[in-house]
């Protein structure tokens, strides 16, 4: 059974976020998008009757403005990411994803609707669950990741945002339920068969690939298909493209 919820989307001007927006609108979902510039949203979404756009920088919205945005939403989807240039990677805000995730979840908690709101976070396979839950990486890989998190702020930011959901929000929060989606190397292309795994499957040195269209499809499934949601709630699914059938 599918439902048509109201979804708050942040990061909808990005490569993956734009695909999520198109996927949600194609499913007749009502979308509230927050974007620094509405002109950067996919052209096909302009004027769509199910789309409401708030032109603002998410991190500078006041708490009451955020609460107004999440009020009445069934789900929040975040595809925010650091822009991949020197300023985006090393400049402020170094905690973009953590700050946005924290503020949005706290706003949802403050509003306190009748049922928990689903929070879907775009993350990465560089993010791990607690030691015992993910396959243990080799020592070289662990050393590489430690350096990456120390030197490249977005890597640490993605980990902290996932840790916030896992440890601060937790699995039984009455206001927020969450899924952290972990794609591997992002690729263009249309939706194809894809695989979902509870734990890491590929090494950082021999990465897998994930079409952004497949991430968008899975995120839209999470917020519209209750069975998909109950299969993955409170988990950090790794999503990779399925190998072509021979």
Ligand X SMILES: NC(=O)c1ccc[n+]([C@@H]2O[C@H](COP(=O)([O-])OP(=O)(O)OC[C@H]3O[C@@H](n4cnc5c(N)ncnc54)[C@H](OP(=O)(O)O)[C@@H]3O)[C@@H](O)[C@H]2O)c1
- The residues that touch ligand X, with contacts defined as CB under 6 A, are 11, 13-17, 36-37, 40, 57-59, 79-81, 83, 93, 96-97, 122, 124, 154, 158, 183, 185-186
Q: How far apart are CA 143 and CA 153, in angstroms?
A: 16
Q: How far is the CB of 83 from ligand X (least distance, A)?
A: 5
If we measure between CA atoms, which residue out of 127, 126, 107 comes closest to residue 117?
107
CB of 174 to ligand X, least distance (A): 28
Closest distance between ligand X and the C-beta of residue 172, in Å? 27
**C-beta closer to ligand X: residue 55 or 198:** 55
**Residue 159 and residue 180 in contact, taking contact as beta carbons nearer than 8 Å:** no
Place of tokens 């953590």: 98
Nearer CB in complex with ligand X: 75/216: 216
Cβ closer to ligand X: 175 or 217?
217
How far is 186 from 56, CA to CA, in rounded Å?
A: 27
Question: Residue 80, class by beta-carbon neighbours within 10 Å (0-12 exposed, 13-18 middle, 19+ buried)?
Answer: buried
- Nearest distance, CB of residue 155 and ligand X, angstroms: 8
Q: Distance (Å, rounded) from C-alpha 9 to C-alpha 174?
A: 21
Q: What is the largest CA-CA distance in the chain?
A: 54
Smallest gap from Cβ 114 to ligand X, in A, equals 30
Q: How far is the CB of 246 from ligand X (least distance, A)?
A: 26
State which residue, 154 or 237, has the beta carbon closest to ligand X: 154
Of 175 and 182, which has the nearer Cβ to ligand X? 182
Nearer to ligand X, 16 or 173 (CB): 16
Q: State which residue, 145 or 186, has the beta carbon closest to ligand X.
A: 186
């Amino acid at each position: 059974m599918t439902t048509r919820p109201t979804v708050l989307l942040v990061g909808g001007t990005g490569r993956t976020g734009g695909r999520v927006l198109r996927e949600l609108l194609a499913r007749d979902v009502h979308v509230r998008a927050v974007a620094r510039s509405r002109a950067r949203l996919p052209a096909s979404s302009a004027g769509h009757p199910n789309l409401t756009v708030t032109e603002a920088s998410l991190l500078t919205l006041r708490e009451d403005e955020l609460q107004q945005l999440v009020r009445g939403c069934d789900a929040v989807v975040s595809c925010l990411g650091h822009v991949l240039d020197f300023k985006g990677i090393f400049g402020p805000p170094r905690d973009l994803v953590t700050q946005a995730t924290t503020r949005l979840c706290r706003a949802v908690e403050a509003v306190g609707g009748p049922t928990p709101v689903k929070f879907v976070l775009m993350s990465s396979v560089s993010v791990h669950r607690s030691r015992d839950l993910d396959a243990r990486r080799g020592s070289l890989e662990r050393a590489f990741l430690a350096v990456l998190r120390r030197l490249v702020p977005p890597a640490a930011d993605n980990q902290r945002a996932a840790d916030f959901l896992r440890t601060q929000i937790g699995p039984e929060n009455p206001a927020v339920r969450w899924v952290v989606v972990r794609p591997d190397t992002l690729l263009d292309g249309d939706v194809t068969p894809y695989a979902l795994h509870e734990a890491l499957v590929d090494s950082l040195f021999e990465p897998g690939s994930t079409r952004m269209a497949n991430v968008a499809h899975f995120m839209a499934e999470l917020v519209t298909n209750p069975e998909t949601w109950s299969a993955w709630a409170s988990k950090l699914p790794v999503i990779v493209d399925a190998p072509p059938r021979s």
